[in-house]
Structure 1
Amino acid sequence: MQRLPNELWASVFAFFDLSDLTIVSQVAAHWRAVAFDQPLFWRDIGIDSLSQGYLYWSKLRIDAGFDRPLALTVIIYDVDDNDRSTVTRELFPIIASCIGRVRRLDVLVPGDLFATLCDALTLPAPLLEDFCLDLSPGGRRGLLLPTGIFNASPGVLRRVSLDTITLPGGCIPAFTTVTSLRLAVADDEWYEFPPHIFDIFPSTRDLYLYGGGVCCPRPLPRATLDRFARLDFLDIGYPESENIVIFLGLPSGEIHEIVASHSDPRTVRAALAQLDSEGGIHVTFVADQEDVRVVFQSATTGRARAFTETAADFERGCYNAAFIIGEPGIAERIVSLRVPSSLWSTIHLGVPADNHISFLILEMDETNGQLPSAPLQCPKLCTLIVEAKESIVTTMEQLFTLSAAVTENDLEIHRVVV
């Protein structure tokens, strides 16, 4: 068997999952060498246990990659006194040993371990592109990020996510290249919008803000306001009415796309007021098993405001961001509507009969293949598109029945298989 070329063995081992590779690596020295050389074995390392055996295999996998780039994820929620010694003497040294070749680093540990973790995080990380640090376990607050993180040298870092961490007042050289930033605190915690955020992250174009709420100090520096207004994308996730601070307290009107979670009616109205006041609006509903997103996009500028809710909030009789479709000033501006079949029975109730919708797309996301039967009248409709996956079959007779339920006009009907 050893006469077979390594390339053939590698092709066979490529069909194995990580557990299989671990098993076959213990059969023979030759198999061990081939198994250890598989990218699946060394490229993506996850550590979520402090057992000696788990840490042993984690170190083997890291060493098997030699100097090749890898991704490292460390998730430790709770530690007792014995675990604390293991973290300090074994886990954090593992991070330090490979941080120079890590491309993606995700670390979730209790906040009281942060001071020790900083010994590893202040080492050079020249290949790091994606960094996530979550110190929420344990409930510690006010943990200050060191300005010398990653040896205080700019590299290729593009995405940063920080949870339950306080930003320092000065510049962080390693973060000057970051284009996507996520800042989060606990759901029951308020925090002040950091006035120096763009001094630390001068290249940021996409910003994600989550927590219990945010307040804006007065006055914010003009440079901060100007940089905020030039963001390409903003995602905010505060409870209900807290999101309105972003639309009324910060210059968010020129941001191309904003997504807000769990917004109350006042916030929805404030957000849509930022779209141009006269042009048409495209409305899109996107649904998955957990969430529903409603997207309002200006037909003239392309600027979009989206609202995400849990799927349960779209049950009939519950509040959801679709309510504004029927409000004066919005209803007559909607020129196109895209809706999944699973939401049709809820959405059609809020669409006024005198709407101006001329373009309707029905996305068949239910496997029964049945087109909606509830009427959604669109008196100015010109085009009806039904999109379905290959496994969902709709007949022309069903399409004609649907068209009669939405308008009396002669329609351009398209059936699209995706």
Structure 2
Amino acid sequence: MEGHDLSTVLPPEILRHFLQGFSFYGLLPILQVSSHWRAMALDHPNYWAHIRLHNDSSGAIQLFLIRILRTYCRPFKVYVSLSRSSPAFGTEVLPTIASNMERILSLYLAVNVSNSSDLFDLFNSLCHPAPLITALRLNLYTSSSPHWQSSPEYPSSLPVGLFAGVAPLLRSLSLTDVTVPSDLVPALTGVYTLTVGHGALIADGNFQDFLPQFPNLRRLHFVCPAESFDPVYRDNTRWATLEYVHASPSMLADPTLPLHVVKQILGYGVTPEEYSALLEHLRGPLDLAFEAVPEMHYVLMHMRERTSPFHERTICEGIRQWSDEYIASNGHPRPLPFTRIVTLTIPECLWQLACGIFPSMPSVKQLSLVLDEPDPLSPSFIPAPRCLPTPCLERLILRAGLGQPVIGFELLHNFLTYAIPTELSTLRVSLAGVFVKSGTAYGLPLLVFEQCTPEELVPHPYPRADIFYDD
């Protein structure tokens, strides 16, 4: 029976029940299985409820409009990313979004607004009631100022009549190259998570005038690597209302910032003094993870107490090249005193960078390595050999990155030969979405392999502000 799709003999209701909880991204691999499974995936409501537009070709726009029509009056999410100014964006895309605003759950617009009429039409489309929307992400830029470069000195301002004041479920807002007006915007009063990107603060503006728009704000993210971006906000009472701050290293110098709310640090240029000050309020063993976003060209450092593990994101080759260039021009960052870290997560493409930061890790018992495609642990992807200073290591976790990699045992053996301290006698190797071909270990500790799911290894109690990642 090999090669036959036995699922065709199962009752359709069983298969529909199996696919019931699948997200949009979970359905994508199913499209490649067979024509039978492809038909089931295309019939899934979640497939049609996540509508994306990445280019302004006539075919792409027509497909975008058809998919909105195919939702059959059900709620849906919209993701539009156009790098160049497009006439069709203002004449076809925006009117369709505006006419269906009452059914949109989340809206992401990363668009070029070089033409002033595009900006006018965009803000007009956002002035319709949106009773179901939970997240809004705006990334507005011009041809001379792409979204990954510095923003205009005076960014555009959200309309006071955003969503006609009707957005009772709006909880997440992300702004890049667009700011909020001085007048109160009623639709923003329920925002719980705010992401402040390039240009969200007017040059020489006062951050203290920015926050009154968000009386219920609890999670604040600064996602801009520029040191000069950090605002000075000296209101102890308002900082005290926040439960989570994503900061950059220079913000740690602000004495009014309560360090217990800082859970992420932008960049890795943290000095030992800043690191020590940040951890003064933490008493127990710690978790540490590195995360990077290629299109934004920065690295995040997560620090949590051991009782609250977090979920790391995988990264791709763009960050590796960027980190290599940074090291070539600036050298390795100064080592940090990581003496209380129990769980450490390093993306494979930042392995060399991370090793340069860790002069000593005597307390690390669990090391999690996120493997990236296309060739995880291949010779071209492994940096110069360097043994980890982890004499107490008990468990090595290998996680699948952007896919489901299959690793030859010989490659894994070569990696372990130089990465794992020779004084270890036994090492647990947990595989999460990674499959290792059989082989024989020699000159290594006793390897005990176990197959695990990512959920079994690390739960996901570390919520992200940007729900558009759809983790």
The match for 1:363 among 364, 368, 384 is: 368
Report if the CA contact (8 A) 2:239-2:257 is conserved.
yes
Paired residue secondary structure (1:177): coil
Report if the CA contact (8 A) 2:193-2:217 is conserved.
yes
1:63 counterpart residue number? 69
- State the structure with more CA Rg: 1
Within 1, Cα distance between the matches of 2:301 and 2:378? 24
2:254 counterpart residue number? 249
Within 2, Cα distance between the matches of 1:59 and 1:260? 40
1:284 counterpart residue number? 288
The offset of 1:102, in angstroms, is 0.5
Aligned ranges 1:233-382 → 2 under 5 Å = 233-236=244-247, 243-244=249-250, 246-249=251-254, 251-266=256-271, 269-276=273-280, 279=283, 282=286, 284-286=288-290, 293-297=300-304, 310-312=319-321, 313=323, 319-321=331-333, 323-325=334-336, 330=337, 333-334=339-340, 336=342, 338=344, 340=346, 342=348, 351-352=358-359, 357-363=362-368, 374-377=386-389
Post-superposition CA distance 1:297-349 (Å, at most 9, x none): 4679999xxxx99445379876455x333xxxx36x43536365956666566
Within 2, Cα distance between the matches of 1:301 and 1:52? 48
Mean Cα deviation higher: 225-234 or 272-281: 272-281
Within 1, Cα distance between the matches of 2:42 and 2:370? 42
1:214 counterpart residue number? 229
Within 2, Cα distance between the matches of 1:302 and 1:53? 44
Within 2, Cα distance between the matches of 1:198 and 1:118? 21
The offset of 1:66, in angstroms, is 2.9
The offset of 1:293, in angstroms, is 5.0
- CA gap of 1:255–1:164, structure 2 versus 1, over 3 A, is farther
CA RMSD of aligned residues (A): 4.7
The one-letter amino acid paired with 1:198 is L
Within 2, Cα distance between the matches of 1:174 and 1:289? 30
The match for 1:226 among 208, 215, 237 is: 237
The match for 1:178 among 191, 202, 206 is: 191
1:4 counterpart residue number? none
Within 2, Cα distance between the matches of 1:135 and 1:341? 30
Within 2, Cα distance between the matches of 1:270 and 1:78? 41
1:152 counterpart residue number? 165
The normalised TM-score by structure 2 is 0.60
Within 2, Cα distance between the matches of 1:269 and 1:227? 26
User: Which structure has more RCO (C-alpha within 8 Å, separation ≥ 6)?
Assistant: 2
The normalised TM-score by structure 1 is 0.67
Post-superposition CA distance 1:156-175 (Å, at most 9, x none): 11211111112112322212
The match for 1:116 among 91, 98, 121 is: 121
Give the gaps of 5 or more residues in structure 1: 1-6, 25-33, 238-242
Paired residue secondary structure (2:124): helix
Paired residue secondary structure (1:126): coil
The offset of 1:100, in angstroms, is 0.8
Paired residue secondary structure (2:335): helix
Report if the CA contact (8 A) 2:171-2:192 is conserved.
yes
1:99 counterpart residue number? 101
2:81 counterpart residue number? 75
The offset of 1:149, in angstroms, is 0.3
Within 1, Cα distance between the matches of 2:335 and 2:130? 48
Within 1, Cα distance between the matches of 2:263 and 2:43? 44
The one-letter amino acid paired with 1:214 is F
Report if the CA contact (8 A) 2:268-2:300 is conserved.
no
Q: How many residues align?
A: 359
Within 1, Cα distance between the matches of 2:386 and 2:399? 22
- CA gap of 1:316–1:148, structure 2 versus 1, over 3 A, is closer
Within 1, Cα distance between the matches of 2:387 and 2:161? 62
Identity of aligned residues (%): 18
Report if the CA contact (8 A) 1:177-1:201 is conserved.
yes
1:204 is aligned to 2:217: yes
The one-letter amino acid paired with 1:165 is V
The one-letter amino acid paired with 1:74 is V
The match for 2:180 among 167, 170, 176 is: 167
- CA gap of 1:93–1:285, structure 2 versus 1, over 3 A, is closer
Within 1, Cα distance between the matches of 2:256 and 2:60? 49
Within 2, Cα distance between the matches of 1:284 and 1:247? 18
Paired residue secondary structure (2:208): coil
